[in-house]
Every structure is written in structure tokens, then in C-alpha cells.
Amino acid sequence: MDRYVTLSLELHLFFARIMKEHALFLEAGFTSANEEFVRKADFYKRGFESVLRRAIGLSHGITDQSVLESGELFTEFTANAERQTQCFTGIPIDRELTAMAARLRCGGPCRVSPVLCRQVRQLNETALRLLDGLIGFKETTLKRVLACRMFTMNYPLLLEHIIREAKLYRTFLRDAERCCLDGQTMKETEVFWNQIMMEHAQFIRGLLDPTEDALIKTSDAFAQEYAALLARAREANDAAMGRQEALKETLRFRDFKTAGVQGITGCKIRSVILPLLADHVLREANHYIRLLSA
């Protein structure tokens, strides 16, 4: 019961924030020709803000210190990135959630009560219903874009990318509800997150202003390096054979992303990257680093 509650809440603290931001990025990318899609994206943004608020409220004294210190729940840039993104897009963001997450503290060994377990189960069920809807919404958007029935500022690959992340969240929650708490193997973790990191580098490369030659070249180099890591991880017999290599690469990429958030929020980098998107991909790198370091 303790493991079920802890794992579920840590999943929500990370992934519910990721999902609400996916919905925001979708909302910001639609045009006025697709107002129904704008409204639906906002519905999912608000839905996952509610999931995150409930998860934070249940997590005091539960969350592991390594998660709280990892930088995957928020960074030093998140609050400002949210403020700027709300200003630029006009899309409301529940910015109190970041302040609430910053106040979370871990606790000592604790017994999880049946009441808390029931609350977490209800939260998981709510999140699973939202995820089913959000995944379907993302897939519909992708199909319409690929059929030339819709224009959006988001790349088709980015739509595929955020579908995969939502499906991973859903898989983990379903496994938790089935009392299967082992998660991915290290090989599966490396394959999944190496691909995510590779695509981050590709997105950054494509969203930078054409005049940002040095940053474009660096992004392209990261994309190629992660492509090589991904190929090796897929072929490896030893599940953790590339773990140290992936960790070393992701620490380097984390530093690049950190500089990117600083440059974008400080108006020093020319791009069409929303400040919150820059912070979003940094948090995902921090999450992967924690998994590799465990």
C-alpha cells in the first residue's frame, strides 16, 4: 500500500504537470479556424491542473527526497516561464501550483492510511479518464494535420511525441492499479527517454531562429548523439549497458537546456520557443537523470 500510494503520487506530480502543459502547447498552436479544438485543449489543461493540485495536497510527507530535489517537478525558472508564457499567449495558467509544489517536504517512514489509499485510487481513476480523452484528442489532431484538414503551429512529430508521453503515464497508472509496481526495465527506460531526448534536440533545432547558427549546430549534434544511444540501447543485451553513457550525455544536455531557458526567458536567444516549453524539456531531462542515477 505504501509503495502504491508513493508511486502514484510521484507519477502525478511529474506527469500531470507535463500533461497540462501539453494541452497548453496544443491550445497555443491552434488557429482561430479551430476554436472547438482550442476549447477542448483548455478543458484538458484545467483537468490536469486539478489532478496536479490534488496530488500536491496528498503528497506532503510522502514524496521521496530524491524526487523533490531532482528538478523534475519544477525548476528555478518555472514560475517566471509560466508568467511569461501566460503573458505571451493569453492562456491562463494556475501558477499557484508551482508555489505549492515548492512547499512540499518529504517525511520519515510513514504508514499510509486506508483513507489516503482510497483518495489516491480515486485520483488515479480521474487521471486515467482524462488521459484516455487527452490521448484521443491528440490522435485526432495528428490525423487531421496529416490529412491536411488542419493547420497547427506544432510539428506532427511533436504531436506523436506528446502522445507517447501520455501513453507512458497511462501505462504506469494502469500498472499501479493492477498492483504491478515494478515499472520499466532499465533498457525500456533508456529506449524511451533516449528517443524523447533526441526529439527534444530536433525540436529545439527547428524552433530556433535561422540566425542562431551555433545553437542549431549544437542541437543537431545532440540529436545525432541520442540517435546513436537509442540504436545501441535497442540492440543491447545488457539492460543497463548504456546507462552511464546515457547519464553523461543527458547531464550535458541538461546544461544546454538550462542555458536555453536562461537565454529564452532573458530574451537573449532568437526563437519561436515558448518560455514554458524550454522549462518543460529541462524538467524532462532532470526526470531522466534521476531514473538513470537510481
> Rounded distance, CA 217 to CA 164, Å?
27
The pTM for the full model equals: 0.96
Residues 152 and 203 in one domain: no
Asked whether residue 129 is assigned to any structural domain, the reply reads yes
Grouping H, G, I as helix, E, B as strand and the rest as coil, residue 62 is coil
Residues 158 and 199 in one domain: no
pLDDT single digits (tens) 155-206: 999 999 999 999 999 999 999 999 887 878 888 999 999 999 999 999 999 9
Rg (C-alpha) for the chain, rounded Å, is 19
Domain that holds residue 291: 184-294
Q: Which CATH number characterizes residue 109's domain?
A: 1.20.1260.120
Q: What's the whole-number average pLDDT of the chain?
A: 95
State CA 61 to chain mean position distance: 23
Residues 27 and 126 in one domain: yes
Residues 173 and 208 in one domain: no
Residues 265 and 119 in one domain: no
**Residue of 80, 84, 94, 4 lying closest to 47 (CA atoms):** 94
Residues 142 and 26 in one domain: yes
Residues 176 and 193 in one domain: no
E strands, 219-266, are: none
Give the list of residues 6+ apart from residue 128 with CB closer than 8 angstroms, or none: 170, 173, 174, 177
Asked whether residue 82 is assigned to any structural domain, the reply reads no
State CA 41 to chain mean position distance: 16
pLDDT at 109: 63
Domain count, the chain: 2
- Average pLDDT in the 201-229 region? 98
pLDDT single digits (tens) 9-64: 999 999 999 999 999 999 999 999 999 999 999 999 999 999 999 999 999 988 99
pLDDT single digits (tens) 95-130: 999 999 999 998 766 678 999 999 999 999 999 999
Residues 165 and 209 in one domain: no
The letter for the amino acid at 139 is: E
* Domain boundary residue, one of 152, 183, 214: 183
* Domain boundary residue, one of 183, 208, 236: 183
> Rounded distance, CA 39 to CA 23, Å?
10
Residue 30 phi/psi, 5-degree rounding, is: -75, 155
**Residue 261, all three cell numbers:** 531557458
